[in-house]
Amino acid sequence: MEIILKKNVDKLGYKDDVVEVKPGYALNFLIPQGYGIVATKSTKKAHEEVLRQRSHKEEKVKEEAQGLASKFKDVSIKIGAKVGENGRIFGSVNTIQLSEVLKAEGVEVDRKSLKIIDEPIKEVGTYTAVANLHKEVSAEFQFEVVEE
């Protein structure tokens, strides 16, 4: 069954993509949750027209995302965490903390677009994260977890 996505769906596709999914997944999850609509001839035609009109705006958004991605090269990120005697962190470091530190450094990124590669982080050290800024633009960067 073909579905036109109305929102980004992790491991499936981005907004405005036309994807092929199993009927049960579409009818029981995607459509009721508002993540997509059924791709009929008329909805595909309307969707193509909307994409054509929006294409020049998308280029501007992509350029802004590339500009934001270049800022990640200049930022040094250190996240403080409470550490026990054996060098392990109490709790773990997550994308919420990473987003707050980036915001303090002047890089405004939604926490949902951040993904830490080696989750969960339970020890002090240097780790890698990826910021998905646009469906064609992502920035990989290093951050360090230090003892508070």
Q: Are residues 61 and 111 in the same domain?
A: no
* Final residue of a structural domain among 41, 67, 93: 67
Dist CA 112 CA 55 (whole Å) = 24
* Final residue of a structural domain among 16, 44, 67: 67
CATH assignment at residue 79: 3.10.430.100
Q: Is the peptide bond before 23 cis (omega within 30 degrees of 0)?
A: no
* CA atoms within 13 Å, Cβ hemisphere of 47: 17
Instruction: Tell me the per-residue pLDDT of 81-131, one tens digit each, with 9 for 90 and over.
Output: 888 888 788 888 888 888 888 888 877 888 888 888 877 888 888 888 888
Neighbour-count burial of 41, counting CB atoms closer than 10 A to its CB (0-12 exposed, 13-18 middle, 19+ buried): exposed
Dist CA 45 CA 47 (whole Å) = 5
Q: Are residues 101 and 61 in the same domain?
A: no
CATH assignment at residue 19: 3.40.5.10
- Span 9-14, mean pLDDT? 88
pLDDT for 147: 84
* Domain enclosing residue 54, as ranges: 2-67
pLDDT for 146: 85
Dist CA 80 CA 147 (whole Å) = 6
Q: Which comes out higher in pLDDT, residue 27 or 127?
A: 27
pLDDT for 35: 94
Which of 3-17, 76-90, 131-145 tops mean pLDDT?
3-17
The total of structural domains in the chain comes to 2
Q: Are residues 79 and 132 in the same domain?
A: yes
- Report the share of the chain in percent with pLDDT over 70: 100
Q: Are residues 83 and 140 in the same domain?
A: yes
Q: Using 50, 70 and 90 to split pLDDT, how confident is the model at 20?
A: very high
Instruction: Tell me the per-residue pLDDT of 49-70, one tens digit each, with 9 for 90 and over.
Output: 888 888 778 888 888 888 777 7
